[in-house]
Structure 1
Amino acid sequence: MNGTERSLAVARIQQKYVERLNTIIELLCNLLKIPYMAFVGSSAEGTDNDESDKDTIWFSDYYDGFDSLTILPDERHPGYSKIQVGYEPKKSELYDYTVEIDDKNYLKNSVKKIIKDRALSHFPSELSSHGAAYTAVVHSIPGESILQIRDSEEVDHVLCIKRPDWPDEAAEWKTRNMHSNWPTDKLVTKITKSGYLLTAVGSKESIESEIQWRVSFNEAELLLIKSFNETQLHCIRLLKLLKKDLSKIAAKNITSYTMKNIMFWCLEKKSNDYWQPSNLMCCFCFCLSELLSCVENEFLSNYFIRKRNLFISREFTCDQRIQTCQYLKRFINDPKTSICLL
């Protein structure tokens, strides 16, 4: 239960600290004329623990190298888009990162190599590529004293294009009937004005993955978590602790992002009166019941894009799903005993 000991007040301090740190980093990157970065994920949300890795995103300006740019949602793979660009890039280095299909030019997500060479070359640590991220093992992060850090840890650098509008695929979320009145209308408006990101990675289930970009909602998710009360914060931290134990069975099919989406869906279903300190165990078990249902149905909707399944069927094997369901059922049937093992 150590993972829930951090109070809401301490989480708020960390959220504000990382927000200010990101502002300073952006200013410095602008001065150095390199793509700017921001700390995101659990460290920015105040939901990290001793074993959480650090996540950063790097914002690219390479879309400025084209006269025209059109975002085209991929209907066959919800939550992914293609970027159609003009035929003549302004920068010669971009020629190698476009591909022509049916008389149309598309920007390949491998263009992230340019930003890696421009920005991540400043990092002394050796980088390895894992999906959307370049991962570095570091021994310390200057200026991060308030964050939980270890002697050495992995930092994932994810390369993105920032979009100021709200994606058409997530239009349903703006008008969704929230039974619990969460998030509030005011928060929904703020979130839809925060834009979204296109992350340089394609779908594992697509033959066109090299020209796909994943639609991501880092800022929107952060704003949602900043609206959490103390019980909700403890609940998501418990879910992340359980993820660590559950990953021994489900491997990478159950992630921190899985738990975040489960939490968001549960908050829509239960009013704020339900999420109270005296009811923490019930809240936690309710979230586990929702996760169990998703695993049984082999479908977990992305919170903002319903049609996107966060489970990849060919990776989440039948045996893994059965064992995951058995684990969750045992936990729900005896939560007091099970939670002591986290």
Structure 2
Amino acid sequence: MIHYRRDTNKRLDEIHNSKPFSVNNITTGGKAEGTALYFESDIDRLYAIKGITCVEPGLPCLSPTVLHLDKTGCSPGYTRVKQVHIGENNSILNKHLVSEQNEIYVANSFSIFRENAYMLDINGVRITKQEKSGPSAPYGNTSIKYDFVFGFECTCQDLIEKWFNRPRKYEWPGPRLIKHISTLEGHVVPVANKGSKFPLTEWRICFTKAELMLMHSLDECQTKLYILLKLIAKSLLKPLCSEMSSYIMKNIVFWIVETSPNERFSQQSLIDRLVDSLTYLKDCLSSNVLKSYMIAERNLFKGRITEIEKKVTYKEN
């Protein structure tokens, strides 16, 4: 069923992206992973705006609209996106441009949705705008919630090269998967890091497609480990600390799988690996550091967990 749900959501994306819409749809989160039922959790979608590409200064780019990544002074894993050339069909950017330090940047208030708009979901049911959370524009009703995130495709070679060249002691990810992931584009999404110097113009760099490929490469035991961690986070940890999300658990699984020999993962050892993962989480809470798997310089816990939340979550864990 996990593989069926993955294939179904992939096919839905392909149908959407075959039509002349202004965005490419990338289903993310539990739906794309195949680990969540339809009404079990939010439906997460990344809308990548067509015709806009962010690149490092000096790199050639044939996109109709070109933006430059400016990571100077930004938090690790974050950037500002600077205006270089805006094509005729992307005038929507003009109302989101702001001046900062004598340069023109795209504000992280960017959205293509009209204020107070409503939509119909795939079932023909009306969904309305909800309170904003992080980079997402949530829409929903009493039955279902969608998290829509707008982003621009980006090429961030320095970060992907660091991930590619990172020493690995064991066999995951395999060489072919590492090479394939290194060719995938990343995205920037509109949210600043907490405490950022640039709260209005900082964007987060993410490698959504890479993370999906890594999730799909996990074996049965590793996938079950992730599902168990998600259940524990949702039922036990999130009521104590709002940051205990499935994304945190995903990064923990990635680190556990990369730093463990493959033979340690089996149906008989599943609970042992669950204990390892919770111990790893406990150590991360103690040090207040959980490295992002794709961008190790980015600390997923920095400025996000209070001392009280850390203590109660650590105790529960």
- Same fold at TM > 0.5: yes
Larger fraction in helix: 1
Instruction: State the alpha-carbon separation in 2 of the partners of residues 248 and 234 from structure 1.
Output: 22
- Counterparts of 1:231 and 1:296, CA distance in 2: 27
Kindly indicate whether the alpha-carbon contact (under 8 Å) linking 1:166 and 1:192 is maintained by their aligned counterparts in 2.
Answer: no
2:129 aligned partner: 127
Cα distance, 1:286 vs. partner? 0.7
Whether the 8 Å contact between 1:41 and 1:218 is mirrored in structure 2 is no
Residue correspondences, number:
298
| 1:141-165 deviations in Å (ceiling 9; x for gaps) | xxxxxxxxxxx111111111122x3
Match of 2:71 among 64, 70, 73: 73
Residue in 2 aligned with 1:144?
none
More strand by share: 2
- Answer whether contact 1:22 1:39 (CA < 8 A) is retained: yes
Where do residues 13-92 of structure 1 align in structure 2 (5 Å cutoff)?
A: 13-28=4-19, 30=20, 33-48=21-36, 51-61=40-50, 63=52, 68-86=66-84, 90=88
- TM-score normalised over the length of structure 2: 0.87
CA distance in 1, matches of 2:270, 2:72: 40
**Which residue identity is paired with 2:105?**
Y
2:312 matched residue in structure 1 = 323
* Distance of aligned partners of 1:86 and 1:92 in 2 relative to their CA distance in 1, 3 Å threshold: same
* Residue 246 (1) aligns with residue 237 (2): yes
Tell me, yes or no, if structure 1 residue 216 matches structure 2 residue 213. Answer: no
Counterparts in 2 of 1:89 and 1:209: CA distance versus 1, 3 Å:
farther
User: Which residue is 1:160 aligned to?
Assistant: 151
CA spacing shift, 1:300–1:44, aligned 2, 3 Å: same
Per-residue deviation, residues 173-227 of structure 1 (Å, max 9, x unmatched): 1011111221011101111111111111111221312111111111111100111
Q: Return the alpha-carbon distance in structure 1 between the equivalents of residues 109 and 64 of structure 2.
A: 16
3-state DSSP of counterpart to 2:262: coil
Partner residue of 1:181? Answer: 171
Sequence identity (%): 26
Q: 1:73: Cα distance to partner?
A: 2.3
Distance 1:305 1:135 in 2: 26
Aligned partners of 2:64 and 2:86 also within 8 Å: yes
Post-superposition offset of 1:308: 0.7
- The residue number in structure 1 matching 2:59 is none
Once the two structures are TM-superposed, the CA of residue 263 in structure 1 deviates from its matched residue by 0.4
CA contact (8 A) 1:167 1:196 kept: no
SS of corresponding position for 2:147 = strand
Q: Does 1:312 align with 2:302?
A: yes
Segments of structure 2 that go 5 or more residues without pairing to the other structure are 54-62, 121-125
Match of 1:117 among 108, 114, 123: 114
Match of residue 94 from structure 1: 93
Distance 1:214 1:267, change over 3 A: same
User: Normalising to structure 1: TM-score of the pair?
Assistant: 0.81
User: 1:98: Cα distance to partner?
Assistant: 1.3
Whichever residue aligns with residue 261 of structure 1, its letter is: N
**Aligned mates of 1:212, 1:62 — CA distance in 2:** 21
RMSD: 2.3
1:210/1:321 CA distance change after superposition, 3 Å: same
